[in-house]
Structure 1
Amino acid sequence: MNGWHMAIAAALCLLLVACSRRESVFSLSPVFTAKSSISASAVAGCVAHRWKQGTRRLRRGERAGAITLRAESLFNGAPIGLRVVPGGRYTRVEYFRRRRVGPLYWSMVRGCLDPDAGDGADGTPDAPTS
């Protein structure tokens, strides 16, 4: 191999690594943001319950007081995420998605923000209003 072949091989390797790198869904700006009077742990628990059957690879984490949920949409595998941050009287909820997914997942989140919605144990998410 001469110098040109090695340079081309190195460039292809760099291109492959750069294209295959996956950043977290939380590195994006949130698609939707909302506030709720329900506690952060209750909101996160409700959403996790609703997302459990409708997503793949559901993971929950906590860092610096914020609760995060990340998963992949069931049919097309698009990464989605939720950050729930307690703050005084209100809980801030931020919804993230890597690619376009249907309104089902945000609808599930919205259903958990209403104090009268219950814990979602019935398994039926609220229908989108928009």
Structure 2
Amino acid sequence: MNAWHMAIAAALCLLLVACSRHESVFSLSPVFTARSTVPASAVAGCVAHRWKQGTRGLHRGERGGAITLRAESLFRGAPIGLRVVPDGQYARVEYFRRRHVAPLYGSMVRGCLDPDANDGADDAPDAPKS
């Protein structure tokens, strides 16, 4: 191989690595932020219940009091995420997405901010924890 072949191979490798970067959806700015009087665990349970049928790879995590949900949209595979943080008598809710996805997922989150929104999420099994 001559120097040109080596340079082209190196450039292709660099391009491949750059395009396959997998940063967390939570490293982005939230699409929207809201506050709710619904407890953080209830908001997360409601969203998990709603996302369960319409996403792939739903995972729930907890760290430092914050509850996170991450999944991929069903048809396009775009990463979406939710962070719910207890904030006094409120829950601070942040919704994230990597690319444009159907507005359905954001609507599901907004629907869970209403104190009267109970989908039976209390009876639903929890999303897998990671």
TM-score range, shorter chain: 0.7 to 0.9
Question: Residue 29 of structure 1: SS of its match in structure 2?
Answer: coil
Structure 1 counterpart of 2:12: 12
| Higher relative contact order, structure no. (Cα contacts within 8 Å, ≥ 6 residues apart) | 2
Instruction: For 1:33, give the aligned amino acid.
Output: T
* Residue 27 (structure 1) aligns with: 27
Structure 2 unaligned spans of 5+ = 122-130
Q: Deviations over 1:68-119 (max 9, x none)?
A: 101111111111110001111111000011111122111111111111122x
CA RMSD of aligned residues (A): 1.4
- Matching of residue 97 in structure 1 with residue 97 in structure 2: yes
Letter in 1 for 2:83: R
Question: Which amino acid is 2:120 matched to?
Answer: A
TM-score, normalisation: structure 2: 0.87
Taking only the aligned residue pairs, the percentage that are identical comes to: 83
Map of 1:127 onto structure 2: none
Matching residue of 1:46: 46
Per the alignment, residue 62 of structure 1 pairs with: 62
Query: Following the alignment from structure 2 to structure 1, what is the Cα–Cα distance between the partners of residues 52 and 120?
Result: 11
Q: 1:3 Cα deviation (Å)?
A: 2.7
Letter in 2 for 1:29: S
Kindly state the Cα deviation for residue 55 of structure 1 after the two structures are TM-superposed. 0.7
**What are the ranges of 5 or more consecutive residues in structure 1 without an aligned counterpart?**
123-130
Aligned residues: 121
Query: What's the TM-score, normalizing by structure 1?
Result: 0.87
Separation (CA, whole Å) in 1 of partners of 2:4 and 2:76: 40
Distance 2:86 2:33 in 1: 13
Q: Which amino acid counterpart does residue 100 of structure 2 have in structure 1?
A: R
Residues in 1 aligned to 2:16 and 2:103: alpha-carbon distance in whole angstroms: 33
